[in-house]
Structure 1
Amino acid sequence: MNVCGLDRWLRILVGIILVGLAAAGAIGVWGWIGLIPLLTGLFRWCPLYAIFGFQTCGLAEQKYGS
């Protein structure tokens, strides 16, 4: 788990908006890229964060999964 807090909720929100607009045909197929932030927010794990050793979770969030 390396994505938490505001970072997580912004990823989910942006992902939902992009996928919704793509599904409605408002922004074209590139909007399906919104699946990436949506899934990384839902699973609380970003592969790029893991590669670079970055995280937005505090110690308590990692321990208790809030």
Structure 2
Amino acid sequence: MKNFGKVFRFIIGFILLSILFLVEGNLKYLGLIGLFPILTAVFNFCPLRSIFGIKTCKIKK
């Protein structure tokens, strides 16, 4: 269950990215939004969390 978040982000990103191939017209480029969750899953870093100061680690330093 530890990697559930990474797998979930990758699947959602893949679904969004598939819009590029399934939709015609200018709306298909909205599928590029799917790159963001895929990259956060691969690199294990979310720039939005650092910008907004969100910490999800339960270990106190």
Instruction: Give the TM-score range, shorter chain.
Output: 0.5 to 0.7
Q: How far did residue 17 of structure 1 move? A: 1.1
Aligned residue number for residue 44 of structure 2: 44
1:1-66 correspondence to structure 2 within 5 Å: 5-22=3-20, 24-26=21-23, 28-57=28-57, 59=59
Note the residue ranges of structure 2 that are not aligned, 5 or more in a row: none
Return the TM-score normalized by structure 1.
0.62
Note the residue ranges of structure 1 that are not aligned, 5 or more in a row: 60-66
Question: Percent identity among equivalent residues?
Answer: 36
Residues 8 and 58 (structure 1 numbering): CA distance in 2 closer, same or farther, change over 3 Å?
Answer: farther
Return the TM-score normalized by structure 2.
0.66
Distance 1:57 1:13 in 2: 23
Residues 16 and 57 (structure 1 numbering): CA distance in 2 closer, same or farther, change over 3 Å?
Answer: farther
Matched AA of 2:40:
T
Count the aligned residue pairs.
55
Structure whose alpha-carbon radius of gyration is higher: 2
**Aligned Cα root-mean-square deviation (Å):** 2.3
Preserved CA contact (<8 Å) 1:16 1:38: yes
